[in-house]
Amino acid sequence: MLRPLSWGGALALLALPWVAMRFTDEVAWTGRDFALFGAMLLVACLAFEAALRVARVPAHLLASLLAIGTAFLLVWANLAVGIVDEPEHPANLLFAAVLLVGVIGAAISRLQARGMALTLSAMAALQVVSGAIAVWIASQTPALFVLAFTGLCTAAWLAAAVLYRKAAVAQ
């Protein structure tokens, strides 16, 4: 039941800009934009497939959905407008490091709940450090935006960590 929803939802999201382009000039995606967004959706759906295979309790699946969604938001925001100034600003690579920790932690823990709880906790800590450094070196982006975005992502990483911990205890 969840698989068709995830893949169908991804296709609907990918079609949305194409439909919007038929009605307004405000949306002007190129083939590269569609390819990149499609690749992001593919990775998110494959991550969800992996979560479906591993999750034994609802808390594990919910934690995975929250982590995947937050990672998707982080990548999308960073590529679309950049969290710090423009997308090309070197400080934006700090936020990519958060995702790298997630990928490495997921591989080491084999997506098991206990290891994922530790991984998401580490990601939250690195998100805070990345946000603090970004505020310090940003030249154009208001500090409040960077702090708010950092706070949102950190809260989501921590909520996912708590859910993974709950799943580990329940298993």
CA-based nearest residue to 134, from 161, 153, 106, 158? 153
Kindly tell me if the per-residue pLDDT of 59 is higher than 90.
yes
- DSSP at 138: -
- List, for residues 89-111, the tens digit of each pLDDT value: 888 999 999 999 999 999 999 99
User: How many other C-beta atoms lie within 10 A of the C-beta of residue 164?
Assistant: 29
The answer to whether the beta carbons of residues 38 and 16 sit under 8 Å apart is no
Instruction: Give the per-residue pLDDT at 104.
Output: 98
Q: How far apart are CA 40 and CA 72, in angstroms?
A: 7
- Using CB atoms within 10 Å of the CB of residue 24, give its burial: 0 to 12 exposed, 13 to 18 middle, 19+ buried: exposed
- Answer yes or no: are the C-beta atoms of 51 and 68 closer than 8 Å: yes
pTM assigned to the model: 0.93
Task: Look up residue 138 and give its two tokens.
Answer: 């940003």
Report residue 11 as tokens: 């296709």
Residues of the chain with pLDDT > 70: what percent? 100
Mean per-residue pLDDT, 113-132: 98
Helical (H) or strand (E) element with 148: helix 143-170
Spacing of C-alpha 115 from chain mean position? 18
Name 27's Cβ contacts closer than 8 Å, sequence gap at least 6.
Answer: 17, 20, 21
Is residue 99 within 8 Å of 122, Cβ to Cβ? no
CA distances from 121 to 46, 93, 101, 133 (A): 23, 20, 10, 19
Q: Write down the pLDDT at residue 87.
A: 87
Question: Mean pLDDT score of the chain, rounded to an integer?
Answer: 95
